[in-house]
Amino acid sequence: MKTLNRSVIVLSVGCSLLVGLFPITARSQEASETTQEKEACIRNLKQIYEALQAYRRDRKELPNWLSDLVPKYLKDPSVLLCPVTRRTGRVETFGLGDPKLTASYIFEFCDAEMGKIYDGGKIKMRDWKRRQMGLVGSAVPMVRCHLHSPVLNLSFDGKVFESADTWENHVRRSGHRSALRAETQSGRRRVSG
């Protein structure tokens, strides 16, 4: 009887330990998936950058939308979908969605009006981004993916960097603080800090 009781106790403790490991295993698997999705998203951003550069070489301007890259400059339109979108169906483009194709990425130099973004009204996104480039240079994001935290940004010079929703805070920490502060005080938009 004592052996049976000990066996039951050992089995109960073992089961409790195993049950306790399941959340750790699930979190570890989720972290691994998140890392893999982020790496795949970065590869997509780099392919998009190469396509944008080829478009610019040929036409001497940026496209109106990322879909303008397909099929000549970007053979596979699925590159415009972040792996998070493929897994969840989520797309976060804040009113700047491509009108021709579903894309996970915001093309910040698109031909759309800013509308409610930063109270921009009728100003075109590309005009606003050019203005920002005049202040901080090529650190301005061309393409952004808001499906990751932190947000993934593809800058005009082809670098991928992470930031909060407001990439301007990242740029201010990188040494362009005074120019960006002057711009924000001009009344066009406000950035805390």
Q: Write out the chain's pLDDT in tens, 193 residues.
A: 566 556 556 556 555 555 555 454 444 444 556 789 999 999 999 999 999 999 999 999 999 999 999 999 999 999 999 999 999 999 888 888 899 999 999 999 999 888 766 666 788 999 999 999 999 899 999 999 999 999 999 999 999 999 988 887 766 655 544 444 444 444 333 333 2
Taking CA atoms, 159 is separated from 30, 38, 41, 171, in Å, by: 27, 15, 13, 13
151-155 vs 141-145, strand pairing mode: antiparallel
- How far, in Å, CA of 96 to CA of 147, rounded? 15
pTM of the model: 0.72
Place of tokens 């920002």: 132
- How far, in Å, CA of 186 to CA of 163, rounded? 24
